């Protein structure tokens, strides 16, 4: 089982459409679900750490027995082949994965310390919607690689 949590709603139509398409394509390979979490607050009205703490609490309540993998621009970068190997190793060990995409203030240290792994899609910063689309595409690509199917050239 693979879960991906993100903060805030999906508003951009073309991104939402792409996410729906990749979720459908992933269904033959793995049980898969998206977990939409409410944003922790307004950065113009509150301290960043207060927002991060609320988001951290909401996220960590959702993680049960899964292996938490946090997306962060300072995390470890992978090629698509290396990411597929990571996914495959978790399949072999029967570990359920819980990917987490932070809100616009990033993650509180509680989440980072609870994570089994911190990975980066890039050194660049993306909106939560773009990060979600890119992550789902890479999971799909990884599944195609694992199964020896044509997609990754």
**Half-sphere exposure for 17 (CA within 13 Å, toward CB):** 3
Residue 141 parent element (H or E): helix 128-146
Q: Looking at the predicted structure, is the pLDDT value of residue 153 above 60?
A: no
Q: State how many domains the chain has.
A: 1
Domain assignment present for 153: no
End-to-end CA distance of the chain: 26
Domain assignment present for 138: yes
What is the DSSP pairing of strand 67-77 with strand 97-101? Answer: parallel
Domain assignment present for 151: no
CATH number at residue 54: 3.40.1280.10
pLDDT tens for 117-137 read 999 999 888 999 999 999 999
Question: What is the pLDDT, as a whole number, of residue 78?
Answer: 96
Cβ neighbours around 145 below 10 Å, total: 18
Q: What is the DSSP string of 49-91?
A: HHHHHHHHHHHHHH-SSSEEEEEEEEEEE--HHHHHHHHHHHH
Domain assignment present for 139: yes
Spatial neighbors of 48 by CB under 8 A, at least 6 apart, are 105
Domain assignment present for 113: yes
pLDDT tens for 7-49 read 988 999 999 999 999 999 999 999 999 999 988 877 778 888 8
Containing structural domain, residue 123? 2-146
Question: What is the pLDDT, as a whole number, of residue 67?
Answer: 93
| pLDDT > 90: percent of the chain | 69
Q: Looking at the predicted structure, is the pLDDT value of residue 147 above 70?
A: yes
pLDDT tens for 77-127 read 999 999 999 999 988 888 899 999 988 888 888 899 999 999 999 988 899
């Amino acid at each position: 089982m693979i879960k991906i949590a993100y903060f805030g709603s999906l508003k951009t139509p073309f991104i939402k459409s792409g996410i729906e398409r990749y979720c459908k394509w992933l269904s033959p390979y793995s049980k898969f679900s998206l977990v939409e979490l409410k944003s922790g607050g307004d950065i113009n009205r509150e301290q960043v750490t207060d927002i991060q703490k609320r988001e951290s609490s909401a996220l960590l309540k959702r993680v049960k027995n899964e292996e938490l993998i946090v997306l962060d621009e300072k995390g470890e970068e992978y090629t698509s082949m290396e990411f597929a190997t990571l996914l495959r190793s978790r399949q072999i060990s029967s570990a359920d994965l819980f990917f987490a995409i932070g809100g616009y203030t990033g993650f509180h240290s509680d989440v980072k310390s609870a994570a089994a792994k911190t990975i980066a899609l890039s050194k660049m910063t993306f909106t939560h919607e773009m990060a979600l689309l890119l992550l789902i595409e890479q999971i799909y690509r990884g599944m195609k690689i694992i199964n020896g199917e044509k997609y990754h050239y």
